Amino acid sequence: MSAALPGVALKRAVSRRKSIIMVIAKVWQLVRRPEGEPTVEDFLCVEEELPACSEGDSLLILEPDAPDWFSSSVSEIGSSLTVSNADDFTHVLVEAVALSIDPYMRYKARQIPLNTPMFGSQVAKVVESKNPELPVGTHLVHYEGWRTYTVLTSQHLKDKEHFGVMCLPEMGDLPKSLGIGILGMPGNTAYFGFLDICKPKAGDVVLVNGAAGAVGSAVVQIAKLKGCRVIAFAGSDEKVAWVKELGADHAFNYKTMNIGEALSKVAPKGVNIYFDNVGGKFTAQALPHMADYGVVSLCGAISTYNEEVDIGVPSLRSPFNEGTVIWKQLHIEGFLVFRWKARWMEGLKQLREWIEQGKLKYKETVFQGFEKMPSAFIGLFHGENTGKTVVVP
């Protein structure tokens, strides 16, 4: 492996036995633990040689013990996978089409081994395949990180933490990048994290922060579809204007408006549902304005991600005042979207239907060039994105 150089993506390498095509993948590795806000120096772009698919390789195999949700999600979108002997070692070569940038990656930067690819998902296109059922040009979503080319083996189907490899649902004329956005993990985060946890009723007062982000903007619109009154907060006047276009009844710039004063004015009887993407001081200020028996769906806490407090470590810095929680009898629930993996296509189908009906809008902040991965990631913590952040290599 050597330091990355711009330029050639494919080259021919000659061995003593035969001539094969080698693929040069560019890979962003995490080489240093971020201290506070990540910096470009925490990452290093390297080159990696990958072998092409050899004769007889399949695009993808479904292991006999593969989880049921994977096979059901494939059948939902009308695709089929070849079932192969578990002892076979098969692989598929894919090229990144769109790479996802998400706040949760800051947590991952504390967990993954150094000098390995930075964690993340991407929409990728099959560039080599011997399987006629899934030919070259098939699009997939996988979680192998910040890299331009990837060899995916049957072992990736055994990934229990996330989804391993999934076929991209039929997108029609919609951008394939939506498979890592509103028609992917962020979309289902909004869909299930709001509807299943909060169980909204018409007339409920709903508070959403991070409301111009990939998840928050979807929650705002879903809440309106369910007949709720929505109070939204975002980080700039331009974002506030967009959130109002999405249908929010009240929208504020949290940088220029006192959160408590705003909520006292527009929700004098309290907030029934709080979908929290920000945490920290915002939540501490918002919590006293919850109505009795209110529900908090704790999706994220981007304001705290750069603090050096690890998951599972005791902390006395919670924004959730125990007295407020007890006396208001609040229900507070954190979640990871992969809880709903068995219902994954249910969410995506409904979200796509709303998009096609003009009821659900989305935005993407697109960075051109694989070299932009670290700067796009760092930009999340400065509010540089509206909607979903995507890097097109």
pLDDT grade for 159, boundaries at 50, 70 and 90: low
End-to-end Cα separation, the chain, in angstroms: 20
Q: Quick check: 27 pLDDT over 50?
A: yes
User: 292-305 pLDDT, tens per residue?
Assistant: 999 999 999 999 88
User: 41-54 pLDDT, tens per residue?
Assistant: 999 999 999 876 65
Q: What is the DSSP string of 333-346?
A: EE--GGGGGGGHHH
In which element (H, E) is residue 27 found?
strand 19-30
User: 215-227 pLDDT, tens per residue?
Assistant: 999 999 999 999 9
Dihedral over Cα of 109, 111, 113, 118: its sign: negative
- Residues 128-150: what's their mean pLDDT? 85
Q: Quick check: 87 pLDDT over 60?
A: no
Q: Which two tokens stand for residue 120?
A: 């993340």
pLDDT grade for 162, boundaries at 50, 70 and 90: low
Task: Report the mean per-residue pLDDT for the chain.
Answer: 85
At residue 162, φ and ψ (nearest 5 deg) are -125, -120
pLDDT grade for 17, boundaries at 50, 70 and 90: very low
Q: Are strands 82-83 and 61-62 parallel, antiparallel or unpaired?
A: parallel
State the DSSP code for 88: -
In which element (H, E) is residue 262 found?
helix 259-266
pLDDT grade for 91, boundaries at 50, 70 and 90: confident
pLDDT grade for 170, boundaries at 50, 70 and 90: confident
User: 314-337 pLDDT, tens per residue?
Assistant: 777 889 999 999 999 999 999 999
